[in-house]
Structure 1
Amino acid sequence: MIIDQSLVNKVFDLAKSEGVTPTAVSTLNVYVSSNEIPLMPMVLQPAICFVLQGKKKVVAGRVHYEYSPNTYLINSVIRPVEASVLDVNKDQPYVGLSLGIDRHVVGQLMMEMNRWDHETKYVEQATLTQSTSLTVPISNALERLVNVLSEPMDCDILASSICRDLYYQVLKGPCGGLLRNSVSHHAGANRIAPVVHYIEQHFERNIDIEEIADVAGMSVSSLHEHFKLVTSVSPMQYVKSLRLHKARSMLSQGYQVSEVCFGVGYSSPSQFSREFKRYFGITPSNAKSSVATIG
C-alpha cells in the first residue's frame, strides 16, 4: 500500500470545512466530504488529482474514469464533466488532493527531458484525461509536499521544487503524454489538445465550427471525427457544454441571469434559458450553489 493512514490524517487536518480548502501552495487544494455525492456537473481543471480515501468517478460523455487510493487522475485541459464521490461515510470521509498543472514548469521540464530522448520515450495518448496507478516516487513527492505545508518557511522555500519533482515523476510515468498535452504549443502534444485550449480561451464569443477547424488545420469533417474520438462530444457540443457550466458557476456566485447570459456568449436570453434547463434540468433563475467542489 503506497498511501498510508498518516498521510490521510495530515491532509484531513488541513481541511477547514467540507468541500474545498486552498492550501499555502496556490495550485494545491484539499477536498473533504463526509457524505457520498451523486453525479453532478462540474468543470474539471487541468490538474493531477489524488484520492487518499474513498473513491471518485468522473464521467465525460460516454467515457468514465474511476480513481481511488493508489491511483491518480491526470486531466490535461478544461473539461465539462460529471463527478461523484463514493465509498465514504462520516467515519471514513472522502479525502483528496488536486495539484493544478503549471504549464510553464511542465514546459521547462519537457525541454530538459528532451535532451534525454533515448530514455524518455512517451506513449501517445488517445484521450485528454486518464487514471493510472500511483508509483512510489509520485507518492513520496506527494507526501513531502503535504509535510512542508505545516512549516511556513519550509513551504515557501521547498514547495515549488517538490511540485517540480512531482510533475517530473508524472511525466516519466505511463500517462506522461497527458501532462505533455497540457502544454498547448508543444510539437508532440495530441492534435486535439491545442484545439481544446483555443476553445477554452474563446468560448465566450461567437466562435463557429469553421473557425475551430481552421485553428486545428483540419477539414470540418476530419475535426469532428478526431475531436469526438478524444472527447466523446462534437466540437460545438463541447463549446455549448463549457458555456453552460461557466454560466452555472457564475449564477452560484450571485451574478444576474442576464449578465450571465451575455457573459458566456449567448445573444438570446430565451435561448440561454431553454438550453440551460435542457442541460441541467432547472432554470437559470432557480440554479443553486451546487457547482461541485469535489476535485
Structure 2
Amino acid sequence: MSFDVKLINKVQGFVQEEGMNETTLPALKLYVSSVEIPLMPIVLQPAICFVLQGRKKVKAGRLAYEYSPNTYLINSVIRPVEASVFDIASNKPYVGLSLGIDQHVVGQLMMEMNNWDHETSYAEQATLTQSTPLTSPIENALERLVDTLADPMDRGILSSAICRDLYYQVLKGPCGGLLRNSVSHHAGANRIAPVVHYIEQNFERNLDIEEIANVAGMSGSSLHEHFKQVTSVSPMQYVKSLRLHKARSMLSLGYQVSEVCFGVGYSSPSQFSREFKRYFGFTPSEAKSSVTAIG
C-alpha cells in the first residue's frame, strides 16, 4: 500500500520552505526536498517517521534501514546516523513527516494494554531502530492528524486522541517493542535503551566506560559487545557522535567555537576542531547555519 495523493498534497500545502518545517503540533514535523540528498550525518530523534513520496535511507554503522510510502520507521532513542533521500523527480519531491514519541502516553498505553490482556507481550527487538510495513489504521490516523493542522479547534480537541491512536496502532504492530524501548523507566525495556538514555543526559560530562557499564549492570567488555551489537558503534563512539552533533547544532545557532568546545565536554580546543573536521568534513569555524530536509 502507499499514501493517498490527497494526503501528499495536504502536507505540501502546510510546508513553507524546503527542508524541515515545524507545525502547530510540536511533535509533528514536515519535510520536503526537491533534490536528492546524499548520505549526511544527522541526529535521529525518538520518533515514528513516514515517507509519503520518494525514499529514505538511514545508516548506522553497518546497519541500514530503508523506507518508502509502503513502510515507516520507528526510532526509539536519540541516535547519530547518516541519512539520505532519493527516488524523486522534479514534479515529485521528497515529502515526509515525523511524529515525536511521547513517553508518557506510550507508557500509559502499555499499562492499559497489559490490564486489558495480561498475555500481551512485545517481541524482543534486536535493534533500537527498524522499518516495518505500513497498515491502513496507521495511514488513517496519520491523515486525520494532518487534517487537524487546518483547524485550531480540531487541533486542540482531537490531536492528542489521534496521536494516542497512532501510538496504539504502532504498539500492536510487529515492531511495537521499539516503543517500549523509548520509555526509559519501563522495567522490561531492552537493556541497552536505558544506557543510551543515560548517555543522552550526560554526554557533556567526562564519561568513561566504567560509569556507563555500571548503569547497565554489566562489565565494561560485556557492555561494549552488547552495545555494539545493537547500535553498531561502541559506547564511547556514541558519546563522541552526540557531542559533535550537539556542537554543530550550537554553532549553527551562533555560539562561539570555544564556548561550544567546552559546552559539549571537550577540554582541548585543538582536539575538538580535529575530531569535528574528521567527522563532518569541515572545521567548526566553517560550520554554517543550515536546514536539512531529512532530519
Same fold (TM over 0.5): yes
User: Residue 278 of structure 1 aligns to which amino acid in structure 2?
Assistant: R
Residue 139 (structure 1) aligns with: 139
Other-structure match for 2:155: 155
Deviation string, structure 1 residues 3-48 (Cα, Å, up to 9, x no partner):
1100110011110111111111110011011110111111000000
Does 1:268 find its partner at 2:268? yes
| Equivalent residue number for residue 191 of structure 1 | 191
- In the alignment, residue 207 of structure 1 is paired with which amino acid? L
| Structure 1 outlier segments of 4+, above 6 Å | none
1:118 Cα deviation after fit: 4.7
AA of the residue aligned to 2:237: Q
**TM-score normalized with structure 1 length:** 0.98
CA contact (8 A) 1:62 1:232 kept: yes
Aligned match of 1:13: 13
Q: Percent identity?
A: 81
Look up the equivalent residue of 2:229 and give its one-letter code.
L
C-alpha separation between the residues in 1 aligned to 2:243 and 2:197? 14
Distance in 2 of aligned mates of 1:145 and 1:280: 36
Aligned length: 295
Q: Which amino acid aligns with 1:55?
A: R
| 1:213 alignment partner in structure 2 | 213
Shift of 1:279: 1.4
Higher mean Cα deviation, 172-181 or 275-284?
275-284
Match of 1:121 in 2: 121
| Cα displacement string for residues 160-194 of structure 1 (whole angstroms, at most 9, x for unaligned residues) | 00000000000000000001100011111100000
Shift of 1:98: 0.4
Secondary structure, in 3 states, of the residue corresponding to 1:131? strand
Residues 113/90 of structure 1: CA separation in 2 closer, same or farther (3 Å cut): same
Instruction: Quote the RMSD (CA, aligned, Å).
Output: 1.1
Q: Secondary structure at the match of 2:244?
A: helix
Q: Distance in 1 between matches of 2:269 and 2:32?
A: 37
Residues 41 and 292 in structure 1, CA contact (< 8 A), matched pair in contact too: no
Q: For each residue in 1:21-79, what CA deviation from the matched residue of structure 2 results, as whole angstroms up to 9, or x when unmatched?
A: 11111100110111101111110000000000001111111111110102000000000
Indicate yes or no: 2:20 matched with 1:23: no
* Distance (Å, rounded) in 2 between the aligned partners of 1:293 and 1:201: 26
Is contact 2:20–2:291 with CA below 8 Å preserved after alignment?
no
What is the TM-score normalised by the length of structure 2? 0.98
Measure, in 2, the Cα distance between the counterparts of 1:84 and 1:248. Answer: 19
Consecutive unaligned residues of structure 1, counting only runs of 5 or more, are none
Distance 1:280 1:25 in 2: 31
What secondary structure, in the 3-state scheme, does the structure 1 residue paired with 2:150 have?
A: coil
